[in-house]
Structure 1
Amino acid sequence: MSARPDPGTPSPDSSEPAGPPAVPDPAETSGTTGAADRATAGGTGPGPVPAADPAAAPAGAAGSGRPQPPPVTRRIPEAGPQAMHKPARGDASVRDLIWACVILVPVALLIFSVGGSCSFSPGTPAEDAASAPTVDAPARIAEYARGSTFPLRLPDVPFRVNSTDRGPVEGGGTAVRIGFVTPDADFLSLVQTDGSVEGVLATESGSAGRGDGPPTMRGTVQAGGLTWEVYGAEGGEPFRVATLPGRPEVRVLVTGSASDEQFRTLAEALVAAPPVAPGGS
């Protein structure tokens, strides 16, 4: 029994040239594939349609003749500089609190340390007299006397000696200074010199450095058995000058913010103090 020729196959005797084989439509060939296979194998009747191969390439896969869609590519974001963000309100508050503590703690310690030597009073702060520095006045006066040409005195007063000094006087001579702090935190300065009245006034008032004349005399006062000439501007601190008895002549000057009563206490103690002879003898 001979096979029937396929009507779609050209005869070998055909004069038409053979062209490229037509691409069958999958929809048209899907129903006849099984019949054609059975015909080729020599079968004559319909048979069961073989199951589709799961591994078979899907329609439109490579080799099917249809264009392939471009592959889908996931774009991975690149790492880069992050945008600056404003710190949270809570973080900023804690940071500001820490900086405030760093600044305020040293200031508080400074105020605490200074507060021990100052006391509050309406107007201006006053120095605590008990915290003022203390000088070994007897030792200093003895030292100055060894190099002095005139006797020195150290008055015994209820005031604290917080400074001593020795230096030249305008116009010639030497001045030995003793600074006192009263219990009321006022000041008195005692100057002993062999210089002139004009010279010691110019030196202690600072008028020599400014080019001004000496302070103007305003009158006299009696204290410690001495006559003191009072110099200075109206309303300013007075400069009281007197000459101690004896030879060589020694002039003394007292100035400062202390009261007249405290000045008189110093004047009386000065006259009563034993002189320390020049040269330390």
Structure 2
Amino acid sequence: MVLSLLALLVIIAALLLFNRSCSFSPGGPEIDPSSAPTVDVRPQFEQVARTVDFSLRLPAVPARWRANSTTTNRAGADSVVVRAGWLTPDRFVGLSQSRAAAPELVELETGARAEPTGSVEVDGTQWTVYPGVRAERAWAAALGGTTTLITGTGTEDEFRTLATAVQAAQPLPRS
């Protein structure tokens, strides 16, 4: 009986190994960044900029960052939120822009009402720091009447890079 069980386990192990149905990754799951979708943020933002009632900015991010998402959704009763997300070499950063107030936008994007935990200054602009979900963080700032929120698992340097880029970006034309 023991020999039959061992033979059965060998057969199952061989099937799993040859079908690649199972893998061993002692350092945690391996994610292939190239398997994520890629989007072109520019045409999406240019189209949306003509329909929203706030200034929308398209930051120039580093070439090694890959945009993988853009969405536009309602943000409360009378506003919308425009989002874009980028995969950095090892992490993710997202940008949300809305006419909604910062606490409302933070709650919408992080799923929790949160109190600020501090602030950081990036090129003369104060960004309010909020806790994010899981290992994420959130930075919010008002840029030209638009609430701008950066979220994600990115490093502080990556957050600063995105903050600098969005601050430097000119608002997209509305017509």
- Range into which the TM-score falls when normalised by the shorter chain: 0.7 to 0.9
What residue number does 1:12 align with? none
Q: Deviations over 1:173-210 (max 9, x none)?
A: 110000110012x0111000011112111211213xxx
Structure 2 counterpart of 1:206, one-letter code = G
What residue number does 2:15 align with? 104
What residue number does 1:59 align with? none
* 1:192–1:144 Cα change, 3 Å: same
1:217 CA displacement: 1.1
Over 4 Å off, 4+ runs = 233-236
CA contact (8 A) 2:132 2:151 kept: no
* 1:147–1:134 Cα change, 3 Å: same
User: Structure 1 vs Structure 2: percent identity of aligned residues?
Assistant: 34
Structure 1 counterpart of 2:161, one-letter code = T
* 1:233–1:263 Cα change, 3 Å: closer
1:224 CA displacement: 3.7
* 1:229–1:143 Cα change, 3 Å: same
* Matches of 1:150 and 1:107, distance apart in 2: 55
1:120 CA displacement: 4.8
What residue number does 1:197 align with? 102
Select the structure that is richer in strand: 2
1:130 CA displacement: 3.2
1:132 CA displacement: 2.3
Radius of gyration: which is bigger? Answer: 1
* Matches of 1:106 and 1:121, distance apart in 2: 16
* 1:157–1:234 Cα change, 3 Å: closer
SS of residue in 1 equivalent to 2:38? coil
For normalisation by structure 1, the TM-score amounts to 0.52
What residue number does 1:230 align with? 129
* Matches of 1:255 and 1:238, distance apart in 2: 6
For normalisation by structure 2, the TM-score amounts to 0.81
CA contact (8 A) 1:187 1:257 kept: yes
1:233 CA displacement: 6.8
SS of residue in 1 equivalent to 2:117? strand
Q: Which runs of 5+ in 2 are unaligned?
A: none
* 1:269–1:173 Cα change, 3 Å: same
1:234 CA displacement: 10
Q: Does 1:263 align with 2:159?
A: yes
Q: Which structure 2 residues correspond to residues 67-216 of structure 1 after superposition, within 5 A?
A: 104=15, 108-110=19-21, 120=25, 122=27, 124-158=28-62, 159-170=65-76, 172-184=78-90, 186-207=91-112, 214-216=113-115
Instruction: With a CA cutoff of 8 Å and minimum separation of 6, indicate the structure with the bigger relative contact order.
Output: 2
TM-align CA RMSD? 3.1
Q: 1:253 aligns with which of 122, 138, 149?
A: 149
Structure 2 counterpart of 1:258, one-letter code = G
Instruction: State the number of aligned residues.
Output: 169
